[in-house]
Amino acid sequence: MRSGGAWLASATQDEVDAFLGGLEDNALMALPWLFDFWALAHQLPPDGAWKSWVIMGGRGAGKTRAGSEWVRAEVEGARPTDPGRSHRVALVGETIDQVREVMVFGESGILACSPPDRRPVWEAGRRRLVWPNGAVAQVFSAHEPESLRGPQFDAAWVDELAKWKKAEETWDMLQFALRLGDHPRQVITTTPRNVGVLKTILKNPSTVVTHAPTEANRAWLAASFLEEVRARYEGTRLGRQELDGVLLEDVEGALWTTPALEAGRLDRAPKLDRIVVAVDPPVTGHAGSDECGIVVVGAVTEGPPQNWRAVVLEDASVTAASPDAWARAALAAMERHGADRLVAEVNQGGDLVETVIRQIDPLVPFRAVRATKGKVARAEPIAALYEQGRVKHLRGLARLEDQMCRMTVRGYDGKGSPDRVDALVWAVWELMVEPSTVYRRPQIRGL
């Protein structure tokens, strides 16, 4: 559902004039301060008896504004001097300066969001805000968890918890301090990161979550900012975290990690000597099947093998309802990239895999590969090539990279099968580990 602000932004001038002209003077003066009218869906608190509300979003998604407005809604009453639901609030950020400059005085901070007759007073010496109705919000730094030992509150706003160095200790101290009122609550505004304290909060049954990408708030962001961050991060695993607000988990013992993959990012591929498309077909061929992993990798193979380098060009994986569908997707990827070979695992389908492909293209250069080792054993030599800096990634491989960061020394720590990773491994294996020099041509009568 669109907000009233979104409707106004897309309305014609006549519609805007008619809407504003129908408001009484008091309503017109109050309109800028009615956050429920202007808010995006992820900025409004969910219904229910929750204790923690996590607003998880990309950079610039409007998290700070949502936190400020939630504090306002908690402490303000019907009139400026009437009591609100909460009376004692903790404002907790990474440092005192960041709380003051972002949560209190920032462009989306509490003071900027408060109408003149309800605006709290900042008492710098005591590091607190005081509202006309007597409500108080006290400032705390996550660098000093012990400062939360002693005070007590009925509400709290926690900002950017995922980047705190002492997140666990500070969070624990805050929970002991939230002990006033009938049902103390807290809101957490953060860009997600793979940290234990955030994952623990998200798993708590009393936690609710709203989520939004940076794009959701584009009306209030500079076009140049969006262009720059899209150009730099779109289509990357880091972009999914920083722009889409998705929590990415690098599991313990993972063969690949997000920082390592980002360090090997390329904007464009060099001139390549070989390109292959590798396919990991699903066991069955219907709508409920696992994905068919299809990955395109190229390599520079000049000089001795230790100097060879590979570049992952595309993840063309599909959820195919039939073998014919995934075979056509693989052959289309070959055509897009001018690949010189199609490599396919045949453990599950045997000769049927090659038969399906050759029914579409009888002359395709094809190599069948059969797994004799487990997935981890096959993946470890490829992960070693990444560690040596010999395999790089173009953008647009986020879903493949998600699977890679869940492949551990113990196996795959995720749902389903890591079909994309399997296809990647076969492609790099063909180019860098055991490159074939010839391929078996089909035996076609009359040729």
pLDDT given for residue 27 in this prediction? 64
What does pLDDT average to over the chain? 87
Span 31-36, average pLDDT: 74
Round to whole Å and give the CA distance between 218 and 169: 35
Round to whole Å and give the CA distance between 330 and 238: 27
Q: Looking at the chain, how many residues does it have?
A: 447
**392 vs 236, 253, 263, CA distance in Å?**
13, 21, 9
Instruction: Give the pLDDT confidence of 192-242 residue by residue, as tens digits.
Output: 887 889 989 999 999 999 988 888 877 778 888 888 777 777 767 677 777
Round to whole Å and give the CA distance between 141 and 166: 10
Higher pLDDT, 234 or 447: 234
Round to whole Å and give the CA distance between 133 and 89: 14
Residue 444: which pLDDT band, with cuts at 50, 70 and 90? very low
Report pTM. 0.65
Instruction: Identify each DSSP E strand in 178-242 by its residue range.
Output: 185-190, 207-212
Alpha helices in 322-416 (DSSP H): 323-337, 351-360, 375-387, 398-404
Residue 447: which pLDDT band, with cuts at 50, 70 and 90? very low
Instruction: Give the pLDDT confidence of 346-372 residue by residue, as tens digits.
Output: 876 567 888 999 999 999 999 999 888
Q: Output the six-digit token pair for 318.
A: 């599909």
pLDDT given for residue 387 in this prediction? 92
Instruction: Give the pLDDT confidence of 56-112 residue by residue, as tens digits.
Output: 888 888 899 999 999 999 999 999 999 999 999 999 999 999 999 999 999 999 999
Least-confidence region, from 49-53, 237-241, 270-274: 237-241
pLDDT given for residue 6 in this prediction? 53
pLDDT given for residue 85 in this prediction? 95
pLDDT given for residue 442 in this prediction? 45
Among positive and negative, which fits the CA dihedral 408, 418, 317, 365?
positive
Round to whole Å and give the CA distance between 165 and 361: 57
Round to whole Å and give the CA distance between 427 and 344: 9
Higher pLDDT, 48 or 4: 48
55 forms beta bridges with 189, 210
